[in-house]
């Protein structure tokens, strides 16, 4: 039986968020918790999730 992975860590190196695979933002073949991380924090904004202080 193959493992069932339903949650993954955001692909942003500085982010500590875990996101459901089905709700992740998919860019460049990677999974992110939101648009800020997926866009590599172009505007300097963090992901805004509680407990996470990533800004790219």
Instruction: Please check whether residue 12 lies inside any domain of the structure.
Output: yes
β-partners of residue 19 are 8
| Residue range 19-32, pLDDT digits in tens | 999 999 999 999 99
Number of domains present in the structure of the chain: 1
Q: What tokens appear for 22 in the block?
A: 């089905």
Whole-number CA gyration radius for the chain? 11
Instruction: Please check whether residue 56 lies inside any domain of the structure.
Output: no
Residue 42 has pLDDT above 70, yes or no: yes
DSSP symbols for 10-51? -SSTT---EEEGGGSEEETTEEESSHHHHTTTTTS-----TT
If pLDDT is split at 50, 70 and 90, which confidence band does 5 have? confident
pLDDT confidence of residue 56: 65
Instruction: Please check whether residue 21 lies inside any domain of the structure.
Output: yes
pLDDT confidence of residue 46: 92
Domain containing 3: what range?
Answer: 1-50
Q: What tokens appear for 19 in the block?
A: 């996101």
What pTM value is reported for the model? 0.86
Phi-psi bin for 49: left (phi > 0), alpha (psi -120 to 50), beta? Answer: beta
Instruction: Please check whether residue 55 lies inside any domain of the structure.
Output: no
Instruction: Please check whether residue 2 lies inside any domain of the structure.
Output: yes
């Amino acid at each position: 039986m193959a493992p069932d992975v339903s949650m993954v860590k955001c692909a942003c190196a500085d982010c500590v968020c875990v996101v459901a695979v089905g709700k992740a933002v998919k860019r460049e073949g990677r999974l992110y918790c939101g648009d800020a991380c997926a866009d590599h924090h172009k505007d300097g904004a963090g992901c805004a999730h509680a407990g996470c202080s990533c800004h790219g």
